[in-house]
Structure 1
């Protein structure tokens, strides 16, 4: 038995987790609509500025849109933090979130391809980004009878990850943490016609590929797995609507088989198109372009 009070992280991580647990626990006692709005407001008005999320979002916006005015960047950064907060509490509220999405009919050219793949027992890898709410498409397709597993990247704060991971693993298909063992489990799930999803838009080991006009380290594992298993690679997105609570789900045409790098370039282009239409819905708070000089 260890006497170390913070065996899996540091004191700052532990304190941050205690604060978030308290906030989430309090909000979970409130009606669904109220808790979603309040969590969005908390990230926009307090947590985002204090944690540096708003500043990082503004820095990323300045990098990508150097001609954008300071006021506009601040507005988008605040809206981004609001969407971030709503997404977090929606995913903790996964049962109520699923009920809210139950009647949504997904749209897009990928639906027929998905149906054909399921009938043929061909694996399907859904790829998406931190945009809108990335769990909305999985919720909607799961409600239609699909079993969709996942491969996720654990959060750096191990204390927070312990309970946040349950928002992904408590429903749908099997979900695996990234790493050798997790990737092997994900591949086993896909073999024989399984469906799985992963997010590709965070800095990860891989080539520097252009994203929003700047090189960004990009994992090509989704494409490599798709090519290895002859899986269909389908982009999908959960797009938040103007009321802040409802969604549209787009299941896009599949990414054509090619080199892994070219497939991820195509996926970058799909996400870039979504961002161009709804810039505040992408998670600008991530360190997507590391080691680059930025100015605000």
Structure 2
């Protein structure tokens, strides 16, 4: 083992210990204080250290170069704030689920989900890193749907272990992206399950499709799975409203080609991002 590997492992352990300690401290507080406080910590302490504010600024400069600087500065704080709120909400278990299920589901796609559920037809639920992406999963599970989730394993195994435990409290099954979870995921889908996945991160093996007016490497996996297993593809979102959410179920994406279907998913998310700029995770390296 090299010195670099040792240092990296030590740094990862320290980072994990800090995050676990912060989460445990926040979980001791009432929910109504815990969520905004974690947002503040991410916006004003962790975010600047991690370079999130710079990444938000750079991404906005790429896709919206004419955005007023006052709005850019606002988003440099509000975007990490939403990330922090999302993180502690996911770790809050039943309290978060209660908030996610407090309001009735909305949208033209709800009838199609009910029909697919009754017929045992597979469904691909597609969302993005927007609002709190796990709120829609919690709300759909509460409606009686069998909803699984595909997640990308974290680089730090220690952090990944407690993160998976947290998302599993919201609902199971959860499947790791890659070979490890592929067989179980396909079996679940073929059995008529509803599979939730996020599709708004850069995938080197994806296709350069348009998102926010720029080419963005995008995975075609949602469309590929839908065409292979005759599954509905339904965009779902949780729009943050204070401590609560508006859960939106959009109409299914018509089956066509994987590229056309995936571009329609990008367009769906882009429309919502433009309406709620501070709720999308601009901290990701979405574009080249």
| TM class by smaller structure | over 0.9
**Superposed displacement of residue 168, structure 1:** 1.6
Q: Where does residue 42 of structure 1 map in the other structure?
A: 41
Q: Where does residue 95 of structure 2 map in the other structure?
A: 96
User: Which ranges in structure 2 are unaligned for 5 or more consecutive residues?
Assistant: none
Q: Where does residue 68 of structure 2 map in the other structure?
A: 69
Is the contact between residue 147 and residue 172 of structure 1 (CA under 8 Å) also seen in structure 2?
Answer: no
Q: Where does residue 283 of structure 1 map in the other structure?
A: 281
1:1-296 map, 5 Å: 10-204=9-203, 205-241=205-241, 244-290=242-288
- Which runs of 4 or more aligned residues in structure 1 lie more than 4 Å from their structure 2 counterparts after TM superposition? none
Is the contact between residue 227 and residue 255 of structure 2 (CA under 8 Å) also seen in structure 1?
Answer: yes
Paired with 1:11 and 1:61, the residues of 2 have a C-alpha distance of: 34
DSSP 3-state at the match of 1:235 = strand
Paired with 2:161 and 2:225, the residues of 1 have a C-alpha distance of: 27
Question: May I ask how many residue pairs the two structures share in their alignment?
Answer: 284
**Superposition TM-score, scaled by structure 1 size:** 0.92
User: Which ranges in structure 1 are unaligned for 5 or more consecutive residues?
Assistant: 291-296
DSSP 3-state at the match of 1:145 = coil
Is the contact between residue 40 and residue 84 of structure 2 (CA under 8 Å) also seen in structure 1?
Answer: yes
Task: Kindly provide the CA deviation profile for residues 102-127 of structure 1, in whole angstroms up to 9, marking residues without a partner as x.
Answer: 33101001100001111111001100
Paired with 1:158 and 1:215, the residues of 2 have a C-alpha distance of: 32
> Which one has a larger percent helix, Structure 1 or Structure 2?
2
Paired with 1:165 and 1:172, the residues of 2 have a C-alpha distance of: 11
**Superposition TM-score, scaled by structure 2 size:** 0.95
Paired with 2:170 and 2:136, the residues of 1 have a C-alpha distance of: 13
Is the contact between residue 99 and residue 245 of structure 2 (CA under 8 Å) also seen in structure 1?
Answer: no
Is the contact between residue 56 and residue 286 of structure 1 (CA under 8 Å) also seen in structure 2?
Answer: yes
Paired with 1:183 and 1:200, the residues of 2 have a C-alpha distance of: 16
**Superposed displacement of residue 149, structure 1:** 0.4
RMSD: 1.6
Is the contact between residue 39 and residue 83 of structure 2 (CA under 8 Å) also seen in structure 1?
Answer: yes
